[in-house]
């Protein structure tokens, strides 16, 4: 046991050294604020889909999501199916339109569509909601690492925030993109192979499913509440689909090299979210076929009410793969860092371009703006640390419910005008901020309907537990926002008047630009050098996996190494080819 613990710590330390080295190696590609915010709109397919996928993924999937998989079985897949559907819709409609706006931040698009007042309102209302959501992510990974290494939760929180701060400040979008590429080609093969290993050791898929207790296949719903479970699945999927089309979220396509790349990125992410979640949670569902000790509160008493968030940690431990705790801890830490770094970079870019530069420094130099960007990032990270620390003292918090409630009650009202803004043109500018205000009132109404005597009065035969009430709140809020809030947004067309000439021209330019296809451009020498650098990073990671294979004799590390070598070879080949062609031209 002593050797296992030390090798896990060593693996985590080596992987953290990768995270520290990447910003130092890639920061030379950041020359100005455009490079810092959107990588100069030059993210080709490989790095584009890795960045978009990782921006929608964090350790929450293996803490709060894992708790839901442990408690309610396949119900957790509804969230990721909603993500997949959202990306399919984005591939068909929104991804290319967002790229074709040719702007740098999502809030510049919101400003062009709804004007400055609505854009500023949405910006400042969204900041506390986003900061709280990101703090939940940090709290989730801190619980995870605390369960693995049995350390006070404050240390993982501090380490995560400091690493995010370092990655973003070092080089912005290009540093984050390079980090995301490494995370993707480490996370996906490792978790997929773990899923297959769990299924194999459970003697097949059918045996694994048969061993799961019936009350955990689809949650704690009684038979006569089965329709509530179906309604909950539909509500979560609708929520995820709406969110994926929001201008805020869809801004992740702005850095793609061209329209075709943006669409390919969306299709690839949709395919991954269709396949990967089942493999991610297979170790948890195999738990009942591998052991009879499935009470996580007994296994992790120091986590108290949050013990179920350690379900993935415990299930991986049952597979008894030497060094895997270190690998999983490193992956979860790094993926959270990647997702948060991208979010911090995006939020800071929005503040800089649409607030600070617009009102305080319209003629500032790039050097001044880069310093302002880094200062804003420091402020966000400080706030996230304080909120995460507060959450760590609220032991009864459910990470899964917290994320779902944030989406259905707080984010959904904001998402409605942002998801429909490019599709519905003739609404007044004030519809951008009045619609969320109306939606927040609907969220309050939905909350009191569920947690008051409303349903018992009208449906006295119902006997709804607290868990079922949480699911019912999601269903009611999504239903009311999909009908009432969305209907209110459409009704604002009745008050539409042609805007002033300047606003009319700005809107017209936006709606015209989204239909102008951006053609692929030739790979530049700088891009070729970036590909070579990324291939070297992936080769180093594969060498690390090879070393683990020889040390532990665990075949799983050999499989992971092979999965990393293939993309590394492609990136090296494509980069070297462009560089050699350039030398011949010279």
- Is a pLDDT exceeding 70 seen at residue 241? yes
Query: Counting beta carbons within 10 angstroms of the beta carbon of residue 6, is it exposed (0 to 12), middle (13 to 18) or buried (19 or more)?
Result: exposed
Exposure letters 215-232 (e unless 16+ CB within 10 A, then b): ebebbbbeeebeebbebb
The number of angstroms, rounded, from the C-alpha of 200 to the middle of its chain's C-alpha atoms is 29
- Is a pLDDT exceeding 90 seen at residue 490? yes
Rounded Cα–Cα distance for residues 267 and 84 (Å): 9
pTM above 0.85, yes or no: no
The pLDDT of residue 483 is: 92
Rounded Cα–Cα distance for residues 457 and 472 (Å): 16
Q: How confident is the model at residue 441 (pLDDT cuts 50, 70, 90)?
A: very high
Rounded Cα–Cα distance for residues 300 and 281 (Å): 19
Q: In the predicted model, what is the mean pLDDT of residues 207-225? A: 69
Q: How confident is the model at residue 492 (pLDDT cuts 50, 70, 90)?
A: very high
Q: Could you tell me if 326 and 12 are in contact, meaning their C-beta atoms sit under 8 angstroms apart? A: yes
Q: In the predicted model, what is the mean pLDDT of residues 536-556? A: 89
Rounded Cα–Cα distance for residues 81 and 198 (Å): 22
Residue partners of 158: CB distance under 8 A and separation at least 6: 385
Q: Which of 157, 123, 181, 128 is nearest to 349 (CA)?
A: 123
Q: In the predicted model, what is the mean pLDDT of residues 4-17? A: 77
- Is a pLDDT exceeding 90 seen at residue 484? yes
Q: In the predicted model, what is the mean pLDDT of residues 430-454? A: 86
Classified as helix, coil or strand, 79 is helix
pLDDT tens for 379-397 read 988 998 998 888 777 655 5
Rounded Cα–Cα distance for residues 358 and 502 (Å): 17
Q: Which of 26, 68, 67, 61 is nearest to 47 (CA)?
A: 26
The pLDDT of residue 336 is: 79
The pLDDT of residue 402 is: 66
């Amino acid at each position: 046991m002593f050797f296992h613990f030390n090798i896990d710590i060593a693996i985590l330390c080596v992987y953290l050294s990768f995270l520290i080295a990447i910003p130092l190696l890639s920061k030379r590609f950041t020359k100005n604020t455009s490079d810092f915010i959107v990588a100069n709109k030059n993210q080709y397919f490989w790095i584009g889909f890795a960045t978009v996928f990782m921006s929608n993924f964090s350790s929450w999937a293996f803490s709060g999501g894992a708790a839901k998989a442990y408690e309610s079985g396949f119900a957790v897949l509804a969230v990721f199916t909603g993500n997949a559907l959202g990306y399919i819709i984005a591939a068909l409609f929104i991804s290319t339109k967002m790229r074709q706006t040719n702007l740098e931040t999502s809030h510049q698009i919101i400003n062009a569509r709804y004007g400055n007042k609505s854009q500023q309102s949405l910006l400042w209302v969204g900041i506390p909601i986003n900061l709280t959501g990101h703090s939940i992510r940090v709290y989730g990974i801190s619980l995870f690492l605390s369960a693995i290494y049995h350390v006070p939760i404050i240390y993982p929180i501090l380490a995560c925030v400091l690493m995010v701060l370092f990655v973003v400040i070092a080089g912005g979008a290009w540093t984050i993109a390079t980090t995301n590429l490494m995370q993707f080609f480490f996370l996906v093969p490792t978790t997929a192979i773990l899923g297959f290993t769990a299924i194999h050791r459970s003697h097949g898929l059918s045996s694994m499913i048969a061993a799961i207790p019936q009350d955990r296949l689809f949650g704690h719903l009684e038979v006569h509440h089965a329709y509530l479970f179906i309604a909950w699945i539909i509500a979560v999927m609708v929520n995820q689909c709406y969110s994926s089309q929001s201008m805020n979220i869809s801004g992740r396509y702005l850095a793609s090299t061209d329209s075709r790349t943006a669409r390919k990125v969306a299709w690839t992410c949709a395919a991954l979210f269709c396949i990967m979640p089942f493999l991610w949670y297979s170790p948890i569902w195999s738990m009942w076929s591998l052991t009879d000790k499935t009470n996580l509160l007994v296994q992790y008493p120091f986590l108290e009410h949050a013990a179920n968030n350690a379900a993935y940690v415990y299930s991986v431990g049952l597979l008894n793969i030497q060094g895997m705790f270190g690998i999983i801890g490193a992956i979860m830490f790094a993926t959270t860092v990647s997702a948060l770094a991208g979010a911090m970079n995006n939020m800071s870019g929005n503040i800089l371009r649409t607030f600070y530069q617009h009102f305080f420094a319209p003629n500032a130099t790039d050097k001044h703006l880069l310093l302002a960007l880094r200062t804003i990032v420091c402020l966000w990270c400080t706030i996230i640390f304080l909120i995460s620390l507060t959450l760590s003292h609220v032991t009864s918090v459910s990470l899964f419910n917290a994320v779902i409630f944030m989406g259905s009650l707080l984010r959904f009202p904001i998402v409605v005008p942002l998801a429909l803004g490019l599709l519905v043109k003739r609404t007044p500018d004030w519809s951008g901020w009045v619609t969320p205000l109306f939606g927040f009132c609907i969220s309050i109404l939905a909350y009191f309907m569920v947690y008051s005597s409303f349903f018992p009065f009208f449906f006295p035969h119902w006997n709804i537990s607290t868990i079922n009430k949480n699911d019912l709140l999601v269903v009611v809020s999504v239903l009311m926002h999909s009908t009432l809030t969305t209907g209110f947004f459409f009704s604002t067309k009745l008050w539409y008047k042609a805007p002033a000439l300047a606003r009319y021209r700005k809107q017209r330019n936006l709606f015209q630009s989204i239909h102008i296809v951006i053609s692929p451009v030739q790979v530049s020498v700088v891009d070729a050098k970036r590909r070579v650098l990324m291939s070297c990073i992936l080769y180093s990671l594969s060498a690390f996996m090879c070393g683990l294979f020889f040390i532990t004799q665990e075949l799983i590390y050999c499989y992971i190494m092979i999965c990393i070598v293939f993309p590394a070879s492609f990136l090296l080949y494509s980069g070297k080819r462009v560089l050699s062609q350039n030398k011949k031209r010279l």
